[in-house]
Structure 1
Amino acid sequence: MNIIIFKTSVNDFSDLEYLSHILDAVLGIGNWSFALEDSDKIFRVNAKSLTAKQISRLLTDQGFLCEELPYSLDEFKI
């Protein structure tokens, strides 16, 4: 399983409520989360079979910015 992190334009609970049924259907319940308090509105996905590009497309097709953020596990001291 891959963890992919994105910067988004999802701003608030209303946006999240709009997207949740789509994300649950495609990614599965419990396989995604948002950090709306973060300035980049971070979207984390536990991706089983989808690529970052496919996941990004889910949000962009709904009118939201969704840009993959590169990271290294070294940053997290793992």
Structure 2
Amino acid sequence: MTDTIPRQYLFILTLLIGLTAVLPSLFMVSATLRNERLDDLKNEYESMLSCPKCKASMINNSLSNWETRERCPNEKCDVIFKNKNKA
């Protein structure tokens, strides 16, 4: 039986495969830290992303949702938004 990979390269190949599997995990941000950073961003922008009249939060919806929406999510609020993209 003939070797398909020469013996002098087996150690190097094994080492490279091991490093390829381990190294990305060393540079990844932990899930806890990532969630803390997302919470910090949410807290920072939540006051800016609220209805100017009733202060209802608007941070939980996507941009595409807000581009089509013309009213505040709070049913008791009567504010109407003007969409600059509509002609």
Shorter-chain TM-score: what band? under 0.3
**Which has a greater percent of helix?**
2
Scaled by the length of structure 1, the TM-score of the pair is 0.26
- Relative contact order: is structure 1 or structure 2 higher (C-alpha 8 Å, sep ≥ 6)? 1
